Structure formats: structure tokens, C-alpha cells
Amino acid sequence: MYRNSNIILTFIGLLLAASQISVMPEAKCVNAVSGEPNEISTSCLTDNRVSNVRSRIVRMEVTAYCPCSRCCGKWADGVTASGHKIQRGDKFVAADIKFPFGTMMIVPGYAEGKKVKVLDRGGAITGNKIDVFFSDHKIALVWGRKDIDVEIFE
Ligand SMILES: [Zn+2]
């Protein structure tokens, strides 16, 4: 009798050990499809390297602009610094030269959370400041200035 209960206790102990393993927190990863800004862990970076999609989250000061002369001054010629010809409804960002043209970013609240490219520069757009592009000056004004976590794909 004593012997049997000892076996049961050992079995329960094994069960507990097993359940503790499964309860261990999973490494959160950036979802490249939905672009949901989850926190990045070391294992996540490893995972992303395998699929060749690496991203990081950077808190940025995000302002907005349009192609008008009030926003762009003498540069209001309808062509971005990268040579992109602006079309109505375009979604892209202006960023510091440390982000090469074509760098993909997800700016929450902009372009329905889809990836947009860095296609422009701006005199005041340095460091961790970016400018999101809107076709319409009034809409750019509504955006104002936001400090948000931007996902950057490199
Ligand atoms: Zn404007």
C-alpha cells in the first residue's frame, strides 16, 4: 500500500514538472503578416533571421505632411527626394538618411497599418523623427504630432 502511493506521488511530481514546462512563457515575435508590434526577444530575432525578415520597434516622433508649398516650400514639385513621382492617395514616409530609400516601416494609425516605404527626406526629419505623407493638407494637419512605436524592417 505504502509503495503504491509512493509511485502515485512520483507520477504526480512528473505531471507537475511537465505542466511547468508547458507553462513557460513563449517568446513573443513580431508578426510579419499582421504587423502587430509585439515585443522583440532574442529568440524572435533568430526566428526572423531564418525567414529573412528582421524588424525592430522604435519609438518615433511622427509628424505629417502633404506635397503643398506650405509643407514642402521650394521642394513642392511633386517629386520626392528618392525621385518618386507623387500620386494622389500615395502612402509613404520621409525619414532620416540612416534609413535608406525603400526601407519598409509600419506606422500604427497610418496606411491602415500596412507597410510603407521611406521615399522622402526632410530638413527637420532627422534621427527618430519621420513624416507620414498625405495627399491632402487638411488631413496632414489632423495627424499633428504623435510619439508612436514604429516597426522598421531592414
Ligand atoms: Zn501641406
**What distance in angstroms lies between residue 137's CA and the mean position of ligand 1's atoms?**
4
**Cβ contacts of 46-49, under 8 Å, gap ≥ 24:** none
Q: Domains in the chain, please, with CATH? A: 56-153 (2.40.40.10)
Please identify every residue whose CB atom is under 5 Å from ligand 1, which is an ion: 66, 68, 70-71, 137
Q: What is the pTM of this model?
A: 0.67
d(CA 101, CA 69): 23
Residue with more model confidence, 50 or 95:
95
pLDDT above 60 for 53: yes
The string of pLDDT tens digits covering residues 27-38 is 444 445 555 555
User: Cα(126) to centroid of ligand 1, in Å?
Assistant: 19
Q: How confident is the model at residue 3 (pLDDT cuts 50, 70, 90)?
A: low
